[in-house]
Amino acid sequence: MDIRQIFGENLRRFRVQAGLSQEAVAERMGVDRAHVSSMERGQQNVTLLTLWHASQAVGAKPAELLAEDVVAGGDGTDPEDSASS
């Protein structure tokens, strides 16, 4: 899977887990909502600084937003993953 897709899916997962809207994350990052949407869809090649700001906005570590096992639900935080175990 493309790293931009991994980042986007993880960003969305952490945003939803935190109970935040795209608008709220955008506000915390100092960008517009469309930019957050674009990142979540894997259409942005984000910089390290953007990665840092996104992680701070959703309460995750930067590495968690890049981890493939989080996307796959391998860390056990995905409710659907635990339901199928």
Domain definitions of the chain by residue range: 3-70
- The pLDDT, as a whole number, for residue 85 is 36
Are 42 and 2 in contact by the 8 Å Cβ rule? The answer is yes
Query: Which H or E element spans position 79?
Result: helix 79-83
The whole-number pLDDT of residue 68 equals 94
CATH 1.10.260.40 given to domain 3-70: yes
pLDDT of the residue at 1? 84
Radius of gyration, CA atoms only, the chain: 12
Those residues with Cβ within 8 angstroms of residue 19's Cβ, 6 or more apart along the chain or in another chain: none
CB 11 within 8 A of CB 4: no
Q: Which two tokens stand for residue 17?
A: 């887990």
pLDDT at 67: 97
Tokens coding 31: 């960008």
- Please give the Cα distance from 5 to 16 (Å, whole number): 16
User: Which pLDDT value is given to residue 69?
Assistant: 85
48-67 tens-digit pLDDT: 999 999 999 999 999 999 99
Query: Can you list the residues of the chain whose pLDDT is less than 50?
Result: 74-85
